Chain A
Amino acid sequence: MTDSNSSLSHLDLETPEKPFLDANELVINMGPQHPATHGVLRVILRLDGEKVLGLECVIGYLHRGVEKIGEHRTYTMFNPYVDRMDYVAAVSNGLGYCETVEKLLHVEAPPRAQYVRVILAELNRLASHQLWLGTHALDIGAITPLFYTFRDREEILKIYEKYCGARLTTHAFRIGGLQYETYNGFEREVKNFLSFFRPKIDEYEELLTTNRIWVERTKNVGIISAKDCIALGVTGPVLRASGVKWDLRKAQPYANYKNFDFDIPTCQNGDTYDRYLVRMAEMRQSVRIIEQAVEGLPEGPVMAKVPKVMKPPAGEIYHSIEAPKGELGYFIVSDGSTQPYRVRVRPPSFVNLQALDLMCRGQLVADVIAVIGTLDIVLGEVDR
């Protein structure tokens, strides 16, 4: 433990007047194996009784060297690896990667492929937010939303399974478009899902939004101001709940998002309750987008003309999308050969997790759990 003590010296803490090794101060390890850390995350807490004075995250337990692997695989071979990073929202990862490589190749996916991509990506946002809601509520102590959200999430996974054969790590997109044409009945099933799902959001809200215990546990917990969010590079629903109305789908549209009409929900306080409200509102907006996309699905090919052996011209591209967790960016350097020279993934959860220290100062230990849940981190993405 002495190692961690010296490494906490950079934290700017209000030290009490009493000497350091006081009985009031406690350094506790919230170890990598913990039911509420959403993966293998280790948090070293420095406590004064139950109040958190500071914390430090130790990550890297799930580091698989995805960026190194990217240099030894061709562009198409690397596509399945990308799903495994944020394994909860695999489709978004694939979307970001395929769009970046398409930019390197100077091709664009045909309109039908882009509409289907939007449908699958927004379904993925719904699935990711549902998993978030279930696990976040479970960490705080509400067990019922877990069952409700996972039951409803099954419908989305069924659509994925019918489309591309896999539920979780879907590998749904290809560079240049889609490999599979949508199956017979795709639009009907998506529409049925939307009409099935719309009242479910109300059901989740009925369970939690005005629930006294939920409000007590989440209001004024983990407050982060807009200025701090921007300085720390936090993006996604966390940024929007602090009042910054910014969404990459509107600011730098990709995949034809400018054809769809949707709002960006924001809140003012930047606490856990606001992040919950923002994500619920985002689910409603996603339903709106999917509706518009299914209505306007154009006919046409689903794959652009890309060469069988992909050798993008030498150059580098940074492209990012609005993943359910935040800004997911890909920085790919090509040297003209079939394998990328450098693949850099800018993971939203990694950068958002930096803010955990700031958000937990002065709160109680139980609030640390709530804040980890509300940041919506996936360790596969943090560690890659």
Chain B
Amino acid sequence: MIAKFKSTYGSGIEPLTYAGQNYMVVDRSLIPEILQAMRNEEQFDYCVDITAVHYPKREKQFDVVWVLYSFSRNERIRVKAQIFDGESILSSVPIWAAANWLEREVFDMFGIKFDEHPDMKRILLPEGWKGHPLRKDYGILQQDNEWVQINLGIESGQ
């Protein structure tokens, strides 16, 4: 499967493996096609998880990770894309309906927008919260004090 992708897309895909788990690093521009092909041709019909990792010191700061599983092949694979801060990525909601809340959470925690998502807004944090907590430049004790003071009526959440 990886060989077939490699021959079609050439340098846009880099297959790797660690501790017996396979994953591919894919160029951002190829992501919609690859994910569509994973679902339609390779039968990865179950989107397990969509998440992101923040590497502030790298040029392409965010790693967006899709964890996919195929029932028929009993195989799990990860697809990673590296994007710049402020870049957005095409939503996979048309491919897997499970992506809806998973992408909302990535947006909530990291600030990565997903284009053409039906309902792109915060899910865990209140609407109107400023800041994206799971970024590395957000402090562990930091809170959006303005929101807390307006909505909860107390000085600070600490």
> What is the CA–CA distance of A230 and B65 in the complex, to the nearest angstrom?
19
Task: List residues of chain A with CB within 8 A of the CB of B102.
Answer: 233, 351
A60 to B119, CA, bound (A): 16
Instruction: State in angstroms the CA–CA spacing of A360 and B118 once bound together.
Output: 20
Interface size class of chain B, counting residues whose CB lies under 8 Å from the partner chain: 35 or more
CB 8 Å contact bits of A211-254 with B (1 = contact, 0 = none): 00000000000000000101111100000000010100001100
The minimal Cβ–Cβ distance linking A31 to chain B, given in whole angstroms, is: 15
- Does B24 belong to the interface (CB within 8 Å)? no
In the complex, which of the residues B18, B71, B74 contacts A315, with contact meaning CB atoms closer than 8 Å? B18
Q: Which of B48, B118, B125 contacts A346 (CB 8 A)?
A: B48
* A-contact bits for B118-158, CB 8 A (1 contact / 0 none): 11011111110000011000101000000000000000000
- CB of A69 within 8 Å of the partner chain: yes
Residues in B neighbouring A329, C-beta threshold 8 A: 48-49, 67
A271 to B53, CA, bound (A): 38
Cβ A231 vs Cβ B98 within 8 A = yes
At the interface, yes or no: A376 with Cβ under 8 Å from chain B? no
Contact, CB under 8 Å: A7 / B121: yes
Q: Are B119 and A7 within 8 A (Cβ)?
A: yes
- With known contacts A230-B45, A233-B48, A354-B98, A60–B134 Cβ distance under 8 A: no
Let me know if A48 is at the binding interface, CB within 8 A. Answer: no
Residue of B nearest to A382 (CB): B124
Cα A382 to Cα B78 with chains together (Å) = 23
Say whether A59 contacts B67, CB under 8 Å: no
Q: Does B30 sit at the interface, judged by CB under 8 A?
A: no
Q: Are A354 and B101 in contact (CB under 8 A)?
A: yes
Q: Do the beta carbons of B53 and A231 come within 8 Å of each other? A: no
Contact A346 B49 (CB under 8 A): yes
| Contact (Cβ within 8 A) A103 B48 | no
Q: Does the CB pair A354–B100 fall under 8 Å?
A: yes
**Contact string, A64-76, partner B, CB cutoff 8 A, digits 1/0?**
0101110010000
B142 to chain A: closest residue by CB: A68
- Contacts A7-B119, A60-B123 known; A72 to B140 CB distance under 8 Å? yes
| Nearest 7 CB-CB pairings of A with B | A233-B98, A60-B124, A346-B49, A10-B118, A231-B97, A63-B124, A344-B51
